[in-house]
Amino acid sequence: MSQSPPAKNLVIFSRKQHSIQLLKPETTVISKRLMQLVLNCGYLFLAGFLLSNPAVADPIPKGAISQNIDVIGYSNLNERPGFKITVKKTPDQWLLYLGHFWEPGWSILDVTKPADPKVVKFIPGPKNTWTLQVDLADNKLITALEKKPEAWGGDATQGNDEGVLIWDLKDPVNPQQVGQYRTGGSGTHRDAYQGGRYMHLAAGMSGYDGNIYVVVDISDPAKPVEVSRWWIPGQNKAQGEKFAADIPGKPSLHGPPVIKGNIAFLSYGSAGMVTLDISDITKPKLISRLGFSPPFLNDIGVHTIVPDMDKKVAYVNSEAIQNQCKEALNQVSVVDISNLEKPQLISMFPLPVPPKGYFATDFCKVGGRFGPHNQNQLFHNPDVKPLGDLVYITYFNAGLRVFDVSNPRQPIEVGYFLPPQPKKRYGPVPADRLALQTEDVLVDARGYAYVTNKNQGLWILRLKELPKP
């Protein structure tokens, strides 16, 4: 004859009496029903709490200073400062794809709600390798791989990967690697993929001094094929070339190459702004070269070119390299490209100055680099805000600056954003002191600006509506 196990005492917390009571076995049936009721109420309370209290967004650091720019959101990127950014709109989400400074790999952020950005995936990259640069089109993402310099934490005694990875974005949150192109040299820097068959690379090819322009066919992503290459005469050291007398410094293509029809605009560092005719993609031909160095700095005299083919101008900037302005002047300029064979400088952007009451009266005294770096670009991407009359540009320790270029001969600053000085060092740069270094900016088609920093997270901003002149 079977017997039921002795009933156990059930524990109930009495809120009214602030005490714990034991229910005796003789009240087991009632107590079980009561316990089930308590548990059900608890589940309902927990579900309601979770629905009304979703994961809290990362707190926005205090101390930012701005003019005509609102802070919308912030992500600390799980303690991985980001660098270059691109964006993709899916039917349900807005997604950012970022390369990182100090940890090799790429993050994907859901920014559908800009006030509450969420890191949804981190993809580890190869060790001892820069994974800074990204671009996308046609459901393909390309990510650059490059030898990491020792000053940036690279280890010369260890190996590294190089070239370009090609990813399929059919599942945008779970990219699948489908190919890799290798240079046989140092890898690639800021590359371009505007859709179709070709990647346009800033490539450190074996035997060359500095990066050169390389076109790669990825119609079969698993088997990328070089189509053509072009370089400044003197870069091919394997063939014993020497630079002409009018080529200063050590020219190197920074990129990204910007393709407008049959024209390629190349930001070629100390060699300046180069335009090529690529109507025959297998044989790029020089149209013109506009030098900026001297009088401007030799190192990366031209870092970025943003052509506006409607206005027939290009917005061109250098990249500051030395800390505390210990170099020749940097530049952000407007170039008339109505005659591509004879481009000419027509105006310059005003130099940013610290706001009244700022802790430094001169940005050169803040520490780190002061000068231009990246513009909002990637206009081949329909999810990026078109150029229009506004130029967004990062300025290292002067933060983000926004200029009205409705009159290209007279650019006017209409907004700025200065993040607070960073409190934690994630990497060895800037070497002189831990100082603000704003790096990249991308503005999506909704008007939200995403800004990265060397030793901070991602800021999400929005320019206020400006009064019309």
3-state secondary structure 38-78: HHHHHHHHHHHHHHHCCCCCCCCCCCCEEECEEEEEEECHH
Q: Are 187 and 204 in contact (CB under 8 A)?
A: yes
Tell me which residue of 419, 407, 379 sits closest to 469, measured CA to CA.
407
Report CA-CA distances (Å) from 59 to 54, 75, 115, 378, 400: 14, 8, 10, 29, 20
Residue range 115-120: mean pLDDT, rounded: 98
Kind and range of the H or E element at 29?
Answer: helix 28-52
Q: What residues have CB less than 8 Å from 113, skipping those under 6 apart?
A: 73
- pLDDT tens, residue by residue, 418-439: 999 999 999 999 999 999 999 9
* Residue 132 clears pLDDT 50, i.e. is over it: yes
Residue 387 has what pLDDT? 97
In CATH terms, is domain 67-463 a member of 2.130.10.10? yes
* Residue 172 clears pLDDT 90, i.e. is over it: yes
- pLDDT tens, residue by residue, 220-261: 999 999 999 999 999 999 999 999 999 999 999 999 999 999
Domain definitions of the chain by residue range? 1-41, 67-463
Show the tokens assigned to 332. Answer: 């952000």
Report CA-CA distances (Å) from 426 to 76, 437, 457: 12, 12, 11
Cis peptide before 469 (omega within 30 of 0): no
Q: Are 417 and 173 in contact (CB under 8 A)?
A: no
Residue whose tokens read 């170039």: 335
User: How far is Cα 3 from Cα 24, in angstroms, rounded to an integer?
Assistant: 19
- pLDDT tens, residue by residue, 55-109: 578 999 999 999 999 999 999 999 999 999 999 999 999 999 999 999 999 999 9
User: How far is Cα 39 from Cα 24, in angstroms, rounded to an integer?
Assistant: 19
* Residue 295 clears pLDDT 50, i.e. is over it: yes
SS3 214: strand
User: How far is Cα 206 from Cα 239, in angstroms, rounded to an integer?
Assistant: 12
465 alpha carbon, distance to own chain's centre: 25
- pLDDT tens, residue by residue, 258-276: 999 999 999 999 999 999 9
pLDDT band at 39 (very low <50, low <70, confident <90, very high): very low
pLDDT band at 17 (very low <50, low <70, confident <90, very high): very low
Parallel, antiparallel or unpaired: strands 458-463 and 448-453: antiparallel
pLDDT band at 317 (very low <50, low <70, confident <90, very high): very high
Kind and range of the H or E element at 10?
Answer: strand 10-14
Q: Are 375 and 393 in contact (CB under 8 A)?
A: yes
User: How far is Cα 8 from Cα 425, in angstroms, rounded to an integer?
Assistant: 57
pLDDT band at 36 (very low <50, low <70, confident <90, very high): low
User: How far is Cα 35 from Cα 41, in angstroms, rounded to an integer?
Assistant: 10
* Residue 18 clears pLDDT 70, i.e. is over it: no
Tell me which residue of 82, 88, 86, 83 sits closest to 172, measured CA to CA.
88
- Contacts by 59-64, CB closer than 8 A, 24 or more apart: 61/419, 61/420, 61/456, 62/420, 63/419, 63/420, 63/421, 64/417, 64/418, 64/419, 64/420, 64/459
SS3 198: strand
Instruction: Report which DSSP code applies to 323.
Output: G
3-state secondary structure 387-456: CCCEEEEECECCCEEEEECCCCCCCEEEEEEECCCCCCCCCCCCCCCCCCCEEEEEEECCCEEEEEECCC
Q: Are 375 and 397 in contact (CB under 8 A)?
A: no
User: How far is Cα 35 from Cα 23, in angstroms, rounded to an integer?
Assistant: 11
List, as one string, the DSSP characters of 281-300: TTS-EEEEEE--TTTS-STT
User: How far is Cα 161 from Cα 145, in angstroms, rounded to an integer?
Assistant: 6
Q: What residues have CB less than 8 Å from 158, skipping those under 6 apart?
A: 127, 128
- pLDDT tens, residue by residue, 368-417: 999 999 999 999 999 999 999 999 999 999 999 999 999 999 999 999 99
Residue 466 has what pLDDT? 85
